[in-house]
């Protein structure tokens, strides 16, 4: 059996032009993960971030969506392929996608 990892996405609450992201886009993303892994967690508190790209400073307001799952090539590919779709869905230059090994007790 493969080890387990936490697959985590930070999704924007606002488009780059400052307009709010419709809640259904976040829910749609969570549902896609839930359908694949039969589970998903969504932290609704706002995570704030600052970053610079091309000399322009951005202020992000984000939610965290994550799932703990087996760390297999297929599961990694699921998230890698979703990342490109999510960049389009949320009109972003990038979507922060991380994987963290976990130890289940």
Q: Tens digit of pLDDT for each residue in 78-101? A: 999 999 999 999 999 889 999 999
Q: What is the pLDDT of residues 51-70, one digit of tens each?
A: 888 898 888 999 999 999 99
The pLDDT of residue 14: 94
Q: Within a 13 Å sphere around the CA of 48, how many CA atoms are in the beta-carbon half?
A: 1
Adjacent-strand bridge partners of 43: 64
Which class would CATH give 4-99? alpha beta
Mean predicted confidence (pLDDT) in 13-37: 95
């Amino acid at each position: 059996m493969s080890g387990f990892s936490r697959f985590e996405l930070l999704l924007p609450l606002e488009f780059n032009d400052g307009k709010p992201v419709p809640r259904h886009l976040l829910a749609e993303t969570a549902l896609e993960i839930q359908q694949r892994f039969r589970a998903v967690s969504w932290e609704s508190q706002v995570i704030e971030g600052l970053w610079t790209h091309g000399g322009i400073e951005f202020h992000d307001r984000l939610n965290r969506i994550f799932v703990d799952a087996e760390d297999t090539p297929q599961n990694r590919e699921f998230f890698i392929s979703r990342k490109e779709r999510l960049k389009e869905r949320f009109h972003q230059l990038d979507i922060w996608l991380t994987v963290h090994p976990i130890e289940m007790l």
